[in-house]
Structure 1
């Protein structure tokens, strides 16, 4: 059976900036909350290796302070320019690195719900994990970029070649046609199964390995010619993300 479906777009929190002085006055609880709500979280667009560091770049509010925080307490920061462009330098990790982007407004922070995940010291996939939404890969990805599941819903996503009008996704005996957005990115809901199953995208077959075991900590493992990650978003809700390997050159 074949059916058409429009691409699902991940929601981005769009919020305006708040002015701050070098030594901001104390704020009431309501004022601090308002500052967080009116600051736009940063959007990470690219990660590139330069010697022993990783350059993480993207867009935020003009002249905002952008901070990337690790679970170990490490923090890396830089100021956005007048156009909102920023570049934060992060030491290349020896293994996997999970970072939480945020914008600082005075003494308050406007954290992004997204997580930046850098696998295998930057030699593996580099992705932006999105709670309840499709993972956005920043590395060279195959036709199927990721599958995300919370145990109740699965999202397949990827990026189509330039000029593609539709992407065909085959799963569970069903073929879905999904329209990429202006950047070529697409996502589509798949049926939830009890275990591994086959998915075909762009003429290539992929094997979803199933859910990872429950864990409140970051869990990364090689699985089914890809990487399976168990991670927790804001509020501690668990999510499994599988990232297929690119095709061999």
Structure 2
């Protein structure tokens, strides 16, 4: 049985710009937001009554010179999409908890932090949201694989490869819902997994991804895909929290994690 290894990132002092995006469920315990002890004594409250579920993006659709983002939040909550430069887009969830914001396209990938506020309480979304120049929405997750917003595929398709300085890596993409999958690196089996009900898969490699050209293959029900990735160490951004360059496969993004580490996300173009 293959032992799955999760990415572990070294910590360092975080850049000031990253603090603008600082995402995660800070200030919440296992059972959600803490209650006022006095209120709890006077009137019993169910454990989850005060818990606010983090907002999330569920789709990204290109619309002219921008990308229409749609998502879910607590009904009637104010929604904020903030960039590290200080720019922000504001919206509001409707009575069903649905919200929509249009983000302008840029020449390079842009990072955003998503949050919502309701009755004085603010909850940050999990991960960073990145919008690429071609209109793709990507959820970046520190220590995990990127989630590219795309439809399920009848055959395995790699959408992103994430790795850190130690070589810990995660392969993510889409396949047929429920399909069993295996990953090989340079003809050696390095991981296995299964696509979820939506057709998404995330597979951690059992061994470090070493520097140099690496042949990565994902195979399973419906077919296989093989690519060659030139693995080079993550490069610390010099301006802001992200550094992006175009490669033969697509955009490569080196970005600062909330803990101050650097993670590389290599995105694959749809044509790959």
TM class by shorter-chain length?
0.7 to 0.9
1:232 corresponds to: 256
- TM-score, normalised to structure 1, is 0.76
Counterparts of residues 1-249 of structure 1 (less than 5 Å): 38-120=51-133, 123=134, 125-139=136-150, 143-152=157-166, 153-162=168-177, 164-175=178-189, 176-190=191-205, 191-196=207-212, 197-202=214-219, 203-210=224-231, 211-215=233-237, 217-247=241-271
User: Whose RCO is larger (CA < 8 A, sep 6+)?
Assistant: 2
CA offsets 1:79-131 (integer angstroms, 9 cap, x no match):
112222111122333443211111123455322241111122xx164311111
Corresponding pairs, count: 221
CA offsets 1:6-59 (integer angstroms, 9 cap, x no match):
9x9xxx9698699xxxxxxxxxxxxxxxxxx94332111111122333211111
Shift of 1:242: 0.7
- 8 A contact 2:60–2:135 mirrored in 1: no
RMSD of equivalent CA atoms: 2.9
Change in CA separation of 1:149 and 1:15 when aligned onto 2, cut-off 3 Å: farther
Q: Is 210-219 or 75-84 further displaced after alignment?
A: 210-219
State the alpha-carbon separation in 2 of the partners of residues 80 and 64 from structure 1: 5
- TM-score, normalised to structure 2, is 0.71
Unpaired runs of at least 5, structure 1: 19-36
- 8 A contact 1:60–1:80 mirrored in 2: yes
1:22 corresponds to: none
State the alpha-carbon separation in 1 of the partners of residues 265 and 142 from structure 2: 10
Unpaired runs of at least 5, structure 2: 7-23, 35-49
State the alpha-carbon separation in 1 of the partners of residues 89 and 262 from structure 2: 26
State the alpha-carbon separation in 1 of the partners of residues 76 and 266 from structure 2: 35
